[in-house]
Amino acid sequence: MSDSASGGDQRPLGVFDSGLGGLTVVHALREALPNESIIYLGDTARVPYGTRSPSTVIRYARACARVLVERKVKALIVACNTVSAVAVEVLRAELDMPVIGVVAPGALAAVRAAEEVADRTGGPPPKIGVLGTAGTIASGAYSREVQKLSTRLEVVGQAAPLLVPLVEEGWLEGEVPELAVRRYIEALLNAGAGVVVLGCTHYPLLRPVVEKVLIELVGHPIPVVDSALAAGEAVCGLLQDGGIPAASRLDLSGATIQLLVTDQPVGFQRSADLFLGEHTPTVEQIDLGAG
């Protein structure tokens, strides 16, 4: 509930993803919003979501949301492009709290990047290339969101099913991830992409590889949009304008982070410590039940 002593709402933000990829969103939130407590749920027992049917993804999303709602979060951040593409509107209709996905913020950041390229070169804006899971690409969600913002921009998508398993295994550098990334990036470049969206919150962990491959193939950097960072910025904006009630603390040590997983807590703990750049609390394993 609200904290009358501080004048703010001390309830945590709830964040969920299919695995550890959503830690990229948590990292962005922690950097920008040190006052805010966070509960993160990684559904590691059922990762990846990107190969599941829309009905299954919606069922999984409801189960994850239920856990976080029971823990009294004040807003829900869906740190998964696949869920954002097919289930965000369902969750918004069913939950009495703000629900923020990653697709709309990522699309907005991509449009801005494409327009900046056009302004700099004096030519037409480049196509926006989206790397995503099979589910995200099949949904057409990025195309719909971009069309809401600009009818002159075209989106091309490329499913990249090998990248989530690479990230989950911690295989973030070397020949194997470079070969996988090259295969997918070449397809986007051949389709005319001049901006690349990392349309899965696992993919920012491979951003150095993506940027290296782009320079090797194109000869110069091209804009790479991080949907996780864009989602973090969207949450910041909502807190600033009152769309989400903000915490108010003088003692930043009062802000906490809680990590929940559905499987493999030890491996997740190592990844969380490494990626968040701080000692994280012990990861708690939970059971989502029949959801």
The catalytic residue positions are 80, 200
* φ, ψ for residue 128, nearest 5 deg: -100, 120
Q: Residue 99: CB partners within 8 Å, gap ≥ 6? A: 75, 76, 78, 88, 91, 92
- Cα separation, 28 vs 35, in Å, equals 13
- Cα separation, 223 vs 130, in Å, equals 12
CB 172 within 8 A of CB 163: no
| 77: its two tokens | 């951040």
CB 52 within 8 A of CB 228: no
